[in-house]
Amino acid sequence: MRGNGIPGCELQLFQPRKAGNMDCTFCLDCIHACPHDNIGILAEAPGKELWHDPFRSGLGRFSKRPDVAALIVVLTFGAYANAAGMVAPVLEWQDQLGSVLRQRSPILATSLFYAFSLLVMPVFMVGIPAVSTRWLGQLKESSLEVATRFAYSLVPLGFGMWLAHYSFHFLGSVEAVTPAIQRFAGDLGLALGEPEWRCACCLPVADWLPRLEIVFLDLALLLSLYSGYRIALILSQVGARSPDRAPTWALKVFAPWALLIVLLFAAGVWIVLQPMQMRGTMFAAG
């Protein structure tokens, strides 16, 4: 597409079949190129793309993209593994495992922890709901197809865990901006004092910070549950034998995924309430 002397979509996406922004770099060349204002930025309800499954010009249908679903699962469980790998109980367990394996270096124990968290656990925790949903709903789709469709309901919870974890680091180490500015000013030849990096981390944890993290997880829980139920409702249009039974059928097939979402939420709350042990940071002498 070319109009107004401006090249169109550099990704060669077919604009009439374009839906959402998953297959778009947001360069907006298509908007500037269209001489008839047929292309624009349209507002949608948050999370709508998680349960709607139109054909996208670049990605096709989400329900037919197990690779995208696998990436979502890895990033979701990665949020929990990344946060759990910094709390005291998990680090103590890793130290005990290192002792059992007679390893002075924590590399092996840490590698086993992340291999279990990012490979073994996702396969079981996503595979079991997929098989259960297929059995409860008597679905013709394979377990992989069911897992692919419902994996998108985990996006809000994964994002909520990343947000809760990084908000702790950001708000607990906000004073790190002071030595960074001093270092930057020094590079420019300005004298603002010698950077005190040891004082950059970490502020005492305020009482409201864990509450804020749990609020993030609460909102993520609600949106994940809602997204999963909407996905089940869409499937009920085919799986339920009558429209009157569709809501009940949807609740039945969504139940295993709702349990998974609640379990992940509970794990997130547990992680938030644990003492953080941030290795590799410098503490000021007290």
> Are 167 and 257 contained in the same domain?
yes
pTM, whole model, 2 decimals?
A: 0.82
pLDDT at 274 over 80: yes
> Are 96 and 9 contained in the same domain?
no
> Are 152 and 248 contained in the same domain?
yes
> Are 73 and 159 contained in the same domain?
yes
> Are 83 and 208 contained in the same domain?
yes
> Are 122 and 32 contained in the same domain?
no
Give the tens place of pLDDT for each residue, 106-158: 888 889 999 999 999 999 999 999 999 999 888 888 999 999 999 999 999 99
In a domain, 2, yes or no: yes
pLDDT at 280 over 50: no
Please report, as a single letter, which amino acid is at residue 92: E
> Are 182 and 227 contained in the same domain?
yes
Cβ atoms of 56 and 22 within 8 Å: the answer is yes
What is the residue whose two structure tokens read 């298509």? 30
> Are 37 and 111 contained in the same domain?
no
In a domain, 49, yes or no: no
In a domain, 261, yes or no: yes
> Are 130 and 30 contained in the same domain?
no
In a domain, 57, yes or no: no
> Are 107 and 158 contained in the same domain?
yes
In a domain, 236, yes or no: yes
Residues 6 or more apart whose CB falls under 8 angstroms from that of 155 comprise: 47, 50, 72, 76, 224, 227
Rounded-to-integer distance, Cα 83 and Cα 80, Å = 5
What is the count of structural domains for the chain? 2
> Are 90 and 36 contained in the same domain?
no
In a domain, 51, yes or no: no
Predicted confidence at residue 199, as pLDDT, reads 59
Predicted confidence at residue 37, as pLDDT, reads 67
In a domain, 268, yes or no: yes
Q: In terms of residue numbers, what domain contains 6?
A: 1-43
> Are 74 and 109 contained in the same domain?
yes
